[in-house]
Amino acid sequence: MRLTHRLSHALLGFAVAAGAATAGAGAAQAADSAPAAAVQQHKPAVKAPAVLGEAAYLVDADTGQVHLSKEADLRRPVASLTKAMTAYTVLKQAKPTDKLTISDEDVRYAAQGGAAVAHLRAGDTLTVEDVLHALMLPSGADAAHALARTYGPGVPAFVAKMNATAAELGMTGTQYVNADGMPYGGGGHSTARDQATLAKAVLDNEALKEITSTRFYTLKATPEHGPYSWKNTNRLLANPGAVGVKTGFTRAAGYTLSFAGERDGNRVIGVILGETDSGRRFQTAQALLDWATARTR
């Protein structure tokens, strides 16, 4: 009986080794007693890319599988990622074809504190869709103020709507204090996990997905407004499959990025907060998308 047992065991070990010739010796020994099908389906573990930002989160938008979580519930300022909530809140009550007129107040507000601007001109009348492009591509604080002022009505009322919307989405670690993410009033806070939840909601809205994924947007002059041309600050959009969502930066928040990629019908959403290098956040985001795709194939 012992001899028969030893022969059977040896034959099984030989079959496993032949079926997994590229596996290491340790892996082959561990698979000695596993079914052949399980051995064939085994994939070598791929190490996650290094994330140097303070917080990060990477999730499959369809299945909810969390690929990576680093300080995902740490509350931090998120800078202009705030504008994704501004856009989402606006389209809960307005149509893209609705119109609004830029005011002197919008222009003056954006001129303070070094905020990014879309160079909107007071007196110009634009569609909501146009102003949303001004908000999300060049990250215009003037566009944020114009939208909040119009659809609050008034900025404080609009910010209250932003926080109500965050609560509806289950963003329990989030508090907004303005519509642009600048450090006025403390700048507010959120988490990487919450911002991924928001990114999913934004991308599930086809109008917002198209806007946040647009690299360049140009408006010719009309009797209602002058000419405009905006470029998206999200460098990741130059890469195939990248969609949305938003970039951000303040001294308190560091460099932030909400991003997503679509491959083979699958969407992965990620957030990086508190990065110290602007370019590295895009490199890290692309590495994360590549890694998530590879590990799910």
Q: Catalytic: which of 8, 33, 83, 103?
A: 83
Catalytic residue chosen out of the listed positions 80, 103, 190, 213: 80
Q: Tell me the CA distances in angstroms from 147 to 23, 102, 106, 140, 199, one per residue in order.
A: 58, 9, 9, 11, 19
Rounded to the nearest 5°, which phi and psi values hold at 30?
-65, -25
Phi/psi at 214 (5° precision): -85, 130
Catalytic, 139? Answer yes
Cα torsion for 234, 239, 241, 242, to the nearest 10°? -10
Residue 80: active-site member: yes
Rounded Cα distance between 233 and 137, Å, is 6
Beta-bridge mates of residue 127: 99
Who contacts 86 (Cβ-Cβ below 8 Å, separation ≥6)?
A: 135, 144, 147, 148, 158, 162, 179, 180
Q: How many CB atoms lie within 10 A of CB 274?
A: 21
- Pull the structure tokens for residue 156: 């404080």
d(CA 181, CA 115): 10
Torsion of CA 201, 204, 208, 214, to 10 degrees: 120
CA atoms within 13 A on the CB side of 263: 19
Name residue 57's amino acid.
Answer: Y
Tokens of 190: 């959120």
Asked whether 199 and 260 are in contact (CB, 8 A), the reply is: yes
- Of the candidates 8, 33, 92, 139, the residue annotated as catalytic is 139
Would you name the residues annotated as active-site residues? 80, 83, 139
